[in-house]
A and B are shown apart, each in its own frame.
Chain A
């Protein structure tokens, strides 16, 4: 069953051809078999099987939802009661949360079964999953390539069919970039759609939970269970619940797709451009209209992002001081020294780098020049998207400049790593829903992603457009060799 989509698994569970326990057992066996990929950080079969038994009991009692019994892996940024929650940091080694994240809670309430926690960049900071304190994750398509990051474990788990769906988080591209690199479907909703309660914060004004799946249809089904208003998160948006599958049957004929010319400039690799242009042609073939649009200041997204995100992270990560939980240095002179040493030992290089940048840009005398200016440019970028959406329904373009790069290729040069998120950061800064869907293969036969972005709260339209493409193509069904 492991190659099946969420939709197919849901039907099989409903028909009784497979039980939640059988399904969980099959995935657990695969996770064990492919543990060399290092996608999972914490697996507890007894916990998973107990949840699966509860799911089967729900079904037997006639209380099953559309997703009861469907397994899911959670990014280790979401806190969980039954699995360790580390944010892939030594700082939280073995940390057990007394509560579940809202997203985890929502999925559990629907009867979904947790397979375990998946690897990521430390505190979701990175674009290659090389920043995990627990080791890198292999790209299932090429053991020497990165899976992308920060949700590298989520992407690899779904690509290798170790889970039919994985939660993920996106701050500047951490869902879309790994989805593109790993040849799967990844979507982040509008900022405020998913509760951030229980999501270990990196940059609060940007962090948003989403999912990695095989297809847009699967993502729509999971969104129905996962998203919704949560009074525990003040930035959660109060709106009536909606059916994210409602536009799956809507043809794209008549849809206007904006193609930002700035996303096809210098730096975009020809293999990626070719695959993306072919995907746009497919949309045209289905009756969509392509229009040239401009996002003139989108290129400022990276410097803006690398002011705002570190500023917020420098403050968000202050709670990790060794006083109440998490890593505490074994030797220290006094209270201040204990905090210093605990942080020096607990954090890896990338969080330290961002804490330093963030501390600097918020400092007295620099705040206006950096933080305030960055916020102003952020607003300009968001306004440009709004102007663009007056001319089109969906914006389409590449997710990344290239296919997945090799391990170590960019690790020594943080700025070139930061540029991996060139096309995804503007949408994150604006808080827009965005996704990546597989649209072909490029260099070294590695997957290429097509990025689709919709206006606020138009996830259903976005998923519909992605689904129509996936009905006509089979890129999303391709699987890496060696995972059978």
Chain B
């Protein structure tokens, strides 16, 4: 990968977030994913003669929630326009979108790359409908058209060209993804196309004020593809310019299988979309009262919660950021902490360790964790009071995850409680000392390592249940005596 100090990369992203409404943006059809082709396309979606669009208020609410969360201006009056072009899976021959006056204007999103914070400015976010899909396989040389997706509500979120590396672009995309899921306005499912990015990429000699010619890369439906595509595009552009060529403004498609981008269409054959206000829809008017009602219904946002987690619970910044990566995880943390009532850092450690690795393994959301916040709290209590060693606690966690129940019941049923009884421990230590004269000798000769071996033997003899700190203390007392 090139580390080209003399070039600066400039990136802006356009993200389509599919809004989590039950029905489509201009019709009553369901937006559920995965139905048989055209099972969710009504007369409006099919653009039959005589049909008319009616705006779904739920989609507007989603847009306003987003706008408020990024500190944008909510336009009191915005306009739906028609974007005209012919394509077999575009039933009306135009897409209803917002052009000159979008519903969300401005705003920003904070990101962090390697601990360095940065603010990415948003240009706008506007409501529009998705198109259908053309299916070119299995139709005996013909094309199939599936209009289930036609009319699905989208929020297109556009940034200023504020990102300077693929890593920043990915950080922005991740932060945006987390936010829209946090707000409950998008399910964030990238495989199903619920969240997809187009990247505008250009390069310029470091120090040059004017932007280079940009290319738009489409079809980026994973963070990895986004990163790969940008890295490749940057390489391509720099190589092109260094070879004496010039970048042509065009739309390029990222091909994940070949891991490269290829030209789709150049600016010369860019279509004239003949935008004009859609006469079938009135301008969208949003009153100040509506904005305030929605503002009042917003959840605590990730940035605010992150700050609170460090201030209120004394968590390190890294922990706070990890725990607020999703609303469900943050909710889990606060629930577990409330039930536990002890050290917040202990809760955080267990969530970032055992819980997250199990969630990642099983591809589950914190809401669906097999170990609930109450169950985790029960376990943490037994760690805090010394009943369980760290090692035993991990065993109990595994049993909790796989079989359910409570930490106390598992400890009782399997005799897993740590042995902290001094009499019992003294007996074990005596046995170990008697059986390992060599180690005893070595320790007395000043080999500190020998102590570890002795503690290990004691733990083994107790089948892991001995309290290691106590074993250590008893050993030292007996050996120094």
Which residues of A come within 8 Å of B, CB atoms?
A: 78-79, 85, 87, 92, 95, 97-99, 101, 196-201, 203-205, 231-235, 311-312, 314-315, 317-319, 321, 323-325, 335-336, 339, 359, 362-364, 367, 371
Partner of A319, one of B52, B92, B281: B92
Kindly state the separation between the CA atoms of A314 and B273 in the bound complex, as whole angstroms.
12
Instruction: Give, as a whole number of angstroms, the nearest-CB distance from A458 to chain B.
Output: 22
Report how many residues on chain B are interfacial, defined by Cβ distance under 8 Å: 29
Instruction: Give, as a whole number of angstroms, the nearest-CB distance from A31 to chain B.
Output: 24
Partner of A315, one of B49, B91, B93: B93
Minimum-distance CB pairs A-B, first 3: A318-B93, A362-B274, A205-B279
Contact A318–B52 (Cβ < 8 Å)? no
Contact A335–B49 (Cβ < 8 Å)? no
Contact A233–B52 (Cβ < 8 Å)? yes
Asked if B145 is an interface residue, CB under 8 A from chain A, the answer is: yes
13 residue pairs of the A-B complex, CB under 8 angstroms, read A79-B50, A87-B49, A98-B43, A199-B50, A232-B52, A233-B52, A315-B94, A318-B84, A319-B47, A324-B47, A325-B48, A335-B88, A364-B274
Kindly state the separation between the CA atoms of A204 and B80 in the bound complex, as whole angstroms.
14
Contact A321–B86 (Cβ < 8 Å)? yes
Asked if B53 is an interface residue, CB under 8 A from chain A, the answer is: yes
Partner of B52, one of A95, A205, A234: A234
Instruction: Give, as a whole number of angstroms, the nearest-CB distance from A116 to chain B.
Output: 18
- Determine the chain A residues whose CB is within 8 A of the CB of B51 once the complex forms: 197-198
Instruction: Give, as a whole number of angstroms, the nearest-CB distance from B60 to chain A.
Output: 13
Contact A198–B143 (Cβ < 8 Å)? no
- Determine the chain B residues whose CB is within 8 A of the CB of A231 once the complex forms: 54
Kindly state the separation between the CA atoms of A99 and B52 in the bound complex, as whole angstroms.
13
- Determine the chain B residues whose CB is within 8 A of the CB of A336 once the complex forms: 86
Instruction: Give, as a whole number of angstroms, the nearest-CB distance from B271 to chain A.
Output: 10
- Determine the chain B residues whose CB is within 8 A of the CB of A324 once the complex forms: 46-48, 91, 145
Contact B274–A319 (Cβ < 8 Å)? no
The majority secondary structure among interface residues of chain B is loop
Partner of A321, one of B82, B88, B143, B279: B88
Kindly state the separation between the CA atoms of A235 and B54 in the bound complex, as whole angstroms.
10
- Determine the chain B residues whose CB is within 8 A of the CB of A364 once the complex forms: 272, 274
- Determine the chain A residues whose CB is within 8 A of the CB of B92 once the complex forms: 318-319
Contact B93–A321 (Cβ < 8 Å)? yes
The majority secondary structure among interface residues of chain A is loop
Q: Enumerate B131-154 residues with CB–CB distance to A below 8 Å.
A: 143, 145
- Determine the chain A residues whose CB is within 8 A of the CB of B46 once the complex forms: 324-325
Which residue of chain B is the closest to A80 with respect to CB atoms?
B50
Contact B279–A79 (Cβ < 8 Å)? no
Contact A311–B48 (Cβ < 8 Å)? no
**Could you give, for residues 75-89 of chain B, a 1 whenever the CB lies within 8 Å of some chain A CB and a 0 otherwise?**
000000010101010
Contact A200–B280 (Cβ < 8 Å)? no
Contact B52–A196 (Cβ < 8 Å)? yes
Partner of A318, one of B43, B49, B53, B86: B86
Contact A318–B143 (Cβ < 8 Å)? no
Instruction: Give, as a whole number of angstroms, the nearest-CB distance from A301 to chain B.
Output: 18
Contact A363–B82 (Cβ < 8 Å)? no
Asked if B401 is an interface residue, CB under 8 A from chain A, the answer is: no
Contact B50–A97 (Cβ < 8 Å)? yes
Which residue of chain B is the closest to A199 with respect to CB atoms?
B50
Which residue of chain A is the closest to B280 with respect to CB atoms?
A204
Contact B50–A318 (Cβ < 8 Å)? no
Contact B272–A363 (Cβ < 8 Å)? yes
Asked if B282 is an interface residue, CB under 8 A from chain A, the answer is: yes
**Could you give, for residues 5-47 of chain B, a 1 whenever the CB lies within 8 Å of some chain A CB and a 0 otherwise?**
0000000000000000000000000000000000000010011
- Determine the chain B residues whose CB is within 8 A of the CB of A203 once the complex forms: 279
- Determine the chain A residues whose CB is within 8 A of the CB of B82 once the complex forms: 315
Contact A371–B276 (Cβ < 8 Å)? yes
Partner of B281, one of A196, A234, A325, A363: A234
Which residue of chain B is the closest to A339 with respect to CB atoms?
B86
Kindly state the separation between the CA atoms of A106 and B274 in the bound complex, as whole angstroms.
36
Asked if B55 is an interface residue, CB under 8 A from chain A, the answer is: yes
Which residue of chain A is the closest to B93 with respect to CB atoms?
A318
Contact A362–B86 (Cβ < 8 Å)? no
Partner of B84, one of A99, A205, A315, A323: A315
Contact B279–A312 (Cβ < 8 Å)? yes
- Determine the chain A residues whose CB is within 8 A of the CB of B84 once the complex forms: 314-315, 318, 362
**Could you give, for residues 458-475 of chain B, a 1 whenever the CB lies within 8 Å of some chain A CB and a 0 otherwise?**
000000000000000000
Kindly state the separation between the CA atoms of A92 and B88 in the bound complex, as whole angstroms.
18
Kindly state the separation between the CA atoms of A92 and B92 in the bound complex, as whole angstroms.
15
- Determine the chain A residues whose CB is within 8 A of the CB of B52 once the complex forms: 196-197, 232-234
**Could you give, for residues 247-273 of chain B, a 1 whenever the CB lies within 8 Å of some chain A CB and a 0 otherwise?**
000000000000000000000000010
Contact B94–A318 (Cβ < 8 Å)? yes
Kindly state the separation between the CA atoms of A439 and B57 in the bound complex, as whole angstroms.
49
Instruction: Give, as a whole number of angstroms, the nearest-CB distance from A345 to chain B.
Output: 16
**20 additional A-B residue pairs with CB within 8 Å, beyond A92-B49, A324-B91, A339-B88:** A95-B49, A98-B43, A99-B50, A198-B51, A201-B280, A203-B279, A235-B279, A311-B276, A314-B84, A317-B93, A318-B92, A318-B93, A319-B47, A321-B86, A324-B145, A325-B46, A325-B48, A359-B274, A362-B84, A363-B274
- Determine the chain B residues whose CB is within 8 A of the CB of A371 once the complex forms: 276
Kindly state the separation between the CA atoms of A336 and B271 in the bound complex, as whole angstroms.
14
- Determine the chain A residues whose CB is within 8 A of the CB of B43 once the complex forms: 98-99
- Determine the chain A residues whose CB is within 8 A of the CB of B49 once the complex forms: 79, 85, 87, 92, 95, 97, 200, 319
Kindly state the separation between the CA atoms of A336 and B93 in the bound complex, as whole angstroms.
13
Kindly state the separation between the CA atoms of A317 and B82 in the bound complex, as whole angstroms.
13
- Determine the chain B residues whose CB is within 8 A of the CB of A92 once the complex forms: 49
Contact A235–B274 (Cβ < 8 Å)? no
Contact A315–B276 (Cβ < 8 Å)? yes
Kindly state the separation between the CA atoms of A23 and B133 in the bound complex, as whole angstroms.
51
- Determine the chain A residues whose CB is within 8 A of the CB of B54 once the complex forms: 231-234
Contact B50–A367 (Cβ < 8 Å)? no
Kindly state the separation between the CA atoms of A336 and B88 in the bound complex, as whole angstroms.
8
- Determine the chain B residues whose CB is within 8 A of the CB of A196 once the complex forms: 52
Instruction: Give, as a whole number of angstroms, the nearest-CB distance from A162 to chain B.
Output: 25
Kindly state the separation between the CA atoms of A200 and B55 in the bound complex, as whole angstroms.
20
Q: Enumerate B62-110 residues with CB–CB distance to A below 8 Å.
A: 82, 84, 86, 88, 91-94
